[in-house]
């Protein structure tokens, strides 16, 4: 049988028409994009497919910290890497400590002002406590003294500090207690000031009244009243408050406690800096110091701004105080040498205790505790605008590959990165000893200013033999606010 073969590319004569080579670049990119979506939906760390590795940067396990440079990572999802140098803080804090991911700066010196300057804009938590006031004195066989009020207490979860600005810190000293009937000393103010913020001032505590029935001082928290005397006024919401976002205190302190009537009355305790009560103990006991506030900005819970306890008259027990406040002195029946008020605790803003009255001699009120200023910042903060090298950890190929595939999701955070100039991509099969650069192509967008960059079939056969696959991304000509290139995800494949 004979016949003619139809008109098709495969002729009976054996002449075959050439077919176009199949291009799987788009499929490779689509597989990478599906891998990215799977990682996002499952919050997956770096994971591997057959001849492919995918990283959405949910953690840092896929990045080689030893070879990467200026590889700053965003602090919250969606995670991305950008060129950032570690923040540099210039300060003269009296102590610098760490608590997990945070660094804490604490100023306690009342003799001179302190300073703080950071080279990156950052929100910091803050605590500013004024100096506590001195307790009132007592005369021999007379009325006892009122307690000193606590320093003003103010704290907040976040205040924005500008890069390169100098901030000034002032720590208020505690007020001195006195013997007999002179006025005690008010505590000094503490503050955090800078050219771009509203100054945060915590007022020093108000002094306690003396044995002669003198008036109590007003302050962050009011001083305690002596016999038949009203306590001083605290700094309530009627006083203008700092209104920055993140402040957690609406007042600095409350009024001092009032003294009870009669010649045998005793001074009441000064009110606390925050949440204080104006406790009064009638009869022979001094007033209870107002309750202060606990704060864990340093990583440990510390009590601040407690009011001093009022001095006792003809009592065996001077009244107590908490949160740094000084205890009131014991009266006529107290053991020898314990009639004076106890000092407030240093760097808590606690008020000094009022003096107790004895038949032996006049006695002295306690000195107020000095104030404190504390700032708390995230340690791993970075200044954007640095050139970055982002190199992955190795993935072992099942066989030595000759070709590489690369897909990354990038964003022009600021400006526009020129491919193969401001951003470059590389693949290695010998653990990064030798890299081959690919020519990046924009294969589409995945959001505003966000691009899918890729290269395919990169010939890596000329590299030394190996199966340790890794990639490297470098960014160049980066500048804060002008050109900032962000990398959200990367996939490499090989064959």
Pairing mode, strands 52-55 and 89-91:
unpaired
CA 146 to chain centre: 38
Query: Under DSSP, is residue 192 helix (H, G, I), strand (E, B) or coil?
Result: strand
* pTM as predicted: 0.71
Q: What is the pLDDT of residue 279?
A: 46
The rounded distance, in Å, linking the Cα atoms of 45 and 393 is: 13
The rounded distance, in Å, linking the Cα atoms of 146 and 263 is: 14
Residue that has been written with the tokens 């000509």 in this structure: 477
DSSP sequence for 124-137: EEEEEEPPPPPPPP
For the chain, domains (ranges, CATH) are 25-85+384-494 (2.60.120.260), 88-380 (no CATH)
Phi and psi for 42 in degrees, rounded to 5? -100, 5
Q: What is the pLDDT of residue 1?
A: 42
Asked if residue 252 lies in contact with residue 282, where contact means CB atoms within 8 angstroms, the answer is: no
Both tokens assigned to 130: 């004024």
Exposure string of 417-448, with b = 16+ CB inside 10 Å and e = fewer, is: bebbebbbbbbbbbbbeebbebebeebeeeee
DSSP state of 211: T
Q: What is the pLDDT of residue 130?
A: 94
Quote the longest CA-to-CA distance of the chain.
143
C-beta neighbour count of 113 within 10 angstroms: 14
The rounded distance, in Å, linking the Cα atoms of 104 and 109 is: 16
Residue that has been written with the tokens 């400006």 in this structure: 415
Both tokens assigned to 42: 């499952």
Q: What is the pLDDT of residue 28?
A: 56
Q: What is the pLDDT of residue 122?
A: 85
DSSP state of 359: S
The rounded distance, in Å, linking the Cα atoms of 134 and 175 is: 5
Q: What is the pLDDT of residue 241?
A: 53
Asked if residue 436 lies in contact with residue 427, where contact means CB atoms within 8 angstroms, the answer is: yes
Q: Which residues pair with 193 in a beta bridge?
A: 168
Q: Is 166 buried (19+), middle (13-18) or exposed (0-12) by CB count in 10 A?
A: exposed
The rounded distance, in Å, linking the Cα atoms of 46 and 425 is: 18
Distances 201 to 35, 54, 120, 135 between C-alpha atoms, Å: 53, 52, 24, 23
The rounded distance, in Å, linking the Cα atoms of 150 and 309 is: 11
Residue that has been written with the tokens 């390169």 in this structure: 164
Asked if residue 204 lies in contact with residue 188, where contact means CB atoms within 8 angstroms, the answer is: yes
pLDDT tens across the length of the chain (495 residues)? 444 444 444 444 444 445 455 565 565 555 655 655 554 454 445 657 678 888 989 899 999 999 999 999 987 888 999 998 888 899 999 999 999 989 999 999 999 999 999 888 888 999 999 999 998 888 777 777 888 889 999 998 889 898 889 999 999 999 998 887 778 899 999 999 999 888 999 999 988 887 655 567 777 777 776 666 777 787 765 455 555 556 767 778 888 777 754 433 445 555 555 444 444 444 456 777 888 889 999 999 999 999 888 887 766 666 778 899 998 887 765 555 568 889 999 999 999 988 887 777 778 899 999 999 999 998 877 878 899 999 999 999 999 999 999 999 999 999 999 999 999 999 999 999 999 999 999 999 999 999 999 999 999 999 999 999 999 999 999 998 899 999 999 999 998
SS3 percent helix, strand, coil of the chain, rounded to 5, is 5, 35, 65
Asked if residue 483 lies in contact with residue 417, where contact means CB atoms within 8 angstroms, the answer is: yes
Both tokens assigned to 161: 């500090």
């Amino acid at each position: 049988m004979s016949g003619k073969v139809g008109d098709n590319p495969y002729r009976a004569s054996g002449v075959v028409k050439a077919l176009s080579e199949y291009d799987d670049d788009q499929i490779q990119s689509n597989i990478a994009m599906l891998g990215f979506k799977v990682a996002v939906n499952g919050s997956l760390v770096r994971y591997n497919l057959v001849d492919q590795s995918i990283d959405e940067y949910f953690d840092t396990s896929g990045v080689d910290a030893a070879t990467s440079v200026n590889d700053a990572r965003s602090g919250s999802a969606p995670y991305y890497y950008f060129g950032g140098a570690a923040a540099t803080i210039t300060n003269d804090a009296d102590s610098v400590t760490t608590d997990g991911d945070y660094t804490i700066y604490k100023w306690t010196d009342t003799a001179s002002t302190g300073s703080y300057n950071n080279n990156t804009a950052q929100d910091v938590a803050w605590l500013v406590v004024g100096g506590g006031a001195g307790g009132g004195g007592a005369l021999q066989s007379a009325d006892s003294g009122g307690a000193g009020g606590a320093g003003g207490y103010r704290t907040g979860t976040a205040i924005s500090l500008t890069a390169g600005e100098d901030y000034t810190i002032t720590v208020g000293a505690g007020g001195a207690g006195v013997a007999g009937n002179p006025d005690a000393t008010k505590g000094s103010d503490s503050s955090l000031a800078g050219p771009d913020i509203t100054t945060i001032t915590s007022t020093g505590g108000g002094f306690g009244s003396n044995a002669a029935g003198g008036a109590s001082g007003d302050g962050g928290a009011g001083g305690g009243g002596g016999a038949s005397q009203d306590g001083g006024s605290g700094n309530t919401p009627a006083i203008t408050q700092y209104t920055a976002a993140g402040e957690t205190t609406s007042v600095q302190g409350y009024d001092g406690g009032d003294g009870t009537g009669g010649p045998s009355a005793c001074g009441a305790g000064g009110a606390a800096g925050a949440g204080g009560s104006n406790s009064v103990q009638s009869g022979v006991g001094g007033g209870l110091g107002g309750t202060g506030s606990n704060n864990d900005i340093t990583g440990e819970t510390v009590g601040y701004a407690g009011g001093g306890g009022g001095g006792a008259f003809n009592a065996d027990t001077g009244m107590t105080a908490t949160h740094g406040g000084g205890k009131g002195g014991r009266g006529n029946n107290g053991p020898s040498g314990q009639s004076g008020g106890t000092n407030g605790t240093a760097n808590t803003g606690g008020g000094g205790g009022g003096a107790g009255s004895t038949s032996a001699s006049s006695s002295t009120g306690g000195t107020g505790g000095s104030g404190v200023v504390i700032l708390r910042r995230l340690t791993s903060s970075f200044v954007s605008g640095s050139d970055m090298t982002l190199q992955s950890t190795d993935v072992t190929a099942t066989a030595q590959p000759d070709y590489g595939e690369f897909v990354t999701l990038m964003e022009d955070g600021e400006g526009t990165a020129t491919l193969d100039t401001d951003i470059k991509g590389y693949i290695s099969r010998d653990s990064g000893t030798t890299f081959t650069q690919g020519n990046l192509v924009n294969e589409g967008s995945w959001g505003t200013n966000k691009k899918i960059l890729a290269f395919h079939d990169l010939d890596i056969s000329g590299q030394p033999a190996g199966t340790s696959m890794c990639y490297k991304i470098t960014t160049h000509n980066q500048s804060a606010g002008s050109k900032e290139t962000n990398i959200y995800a990367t996939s490499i494949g090989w064959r």
